[in-house]
Amino acid sequence: MNRWKILSTLALLFLWVTPFNAFAQHKHGRGEMQGKHGEQESKGPKLPLCPVMGDPLDFSVKTMTDAGPVHFCCENCIEKFTKSPDKYAKKVAAQREALKAMPRVQVSCPSCGKPADNKVFSERGGNKVYFCCTDCKSKYERDPDKYTAKFEASYTYQTRCPVMGGEIDPTAFVDLPTGQRVYFCCQGCDDKLLKDPEKYVAKLAAQGINVDVSKLKGGQGQHAGEGHGSHGHGDP
């Protein structure tokens, strides 16, 4: 009898513990999947490719064409492209198709390149196009096809603040000594970037902005409003 009672008790314990073990394993496995998903999201969207080398592009490295900017992975690729642009036509077209699937924010006037004002806009194809002033708006509306290249160049694909992770405010930015412009969700985030750039360059790189940290030592950079005039919001 005692032996039977012991075996019965062990069987009941096994049945009672097993569901909790299964639940714990399921919860742990789910956490691993969420972790991997979170890591993938932190890396940002998949970047289009350089038409010359086939590596992920750097939005800071580009050249203008009649159809808009072409982006590359490095400066050397620009020279190769300009020597034989027809050679890379198909890959440039593929890059532009990939860019259409990416989020972007209009930050400059397609007529003159100055900062856009969210109060001055025109509608084309169901979307708003922003300008710096009414004169530029009128010029654009008279012949919009004339400004195709500048219109494509008026957007930034760096849509997330590298410090806080929120959507950028086109009025909050800093021009780095490297010649790159970085946008933030609010004023103040620029100081954090310049104070500790190593902490944030990976998040910028995930958005296609590769910054040379060695050139940022000392916290130098031209902030929004310093010689830029007024700024407006781009297309959300």
pLDDT tens across the length of the chain (236 residues): 455 455 455 444 444 444 434 433 333 333 332 333 334 344 667 899 999 999 999 999 999 999 999 999 999 999 999 999 999 999 999 999 999 999 999 999 999 999 999 999 999 888 999 999 999 999 999 999 999 999 999 999 999 999 999 999 988 999 999 999 999 999 999 999 999 999 999 999 999 999 999 888 665 677 775 655 433 333 33
Same domain membership, residue 212 and residue 134 = yes
Same domain membership, residue 210 and residue 123 = yes
Rounded Cα distance, 182 and 162, in Å: 9
DSSP 119: E
Same domain membership, residue 203 and residue 86 = no
Last residue of a domain, one of 102, 124, 147: 102
Same domain membership, residue 168 and residue 61 = no
Strand partners, 56: 49
Which token pair is 170? 């086109």
Give pTM, 2 decimals: 0.73
Q: Is residue 7 part of a domain?
A: no
Last residue of a domain, one of 102, 118, 141: 102
Same domain membership, residue 213 and residue 108 = yes
Which token pair is 171? 């009025």
Total domains in the chain come to 2
Q: What range does the domain containing 95 cover? A: 45-102
Same domain membership, residue 136 and residue 90 = no
Q: Is residue 219 part of a domain?
A: yes
Same domain membership, residue 233 and residue 155 = yes
Same domain membership, residue 221 and residue 196 = yes
pLDDT attached to residue 216: 82
CA distances from 25 to 11, 16, 18, 19, 117 (A): 21, 15, 11, 10, 54
Last residue of a domain, one of 77, 102, 127: 102
Q: Is residue 71 part of a domain?
A: yes
pLDDT attached to residue 227: 53
Q: Is residue 232 part of a domain?
A: yes
Same domain membership, residue 109 and residue 96 = no
Rounded Cα distance, 34 and 188, in Å: 31
Same domain membership, residue 173 and residue 93 = no
Q: Is residue 202 part of a domain?
A: yes
Same domain membership, residue 94 and residue 115 = no
Q: Is residue 19 part of a domain?
A: no
Which token pair is 184? 């933030």
Same domain membership, residue 55 and residue 65 = yes
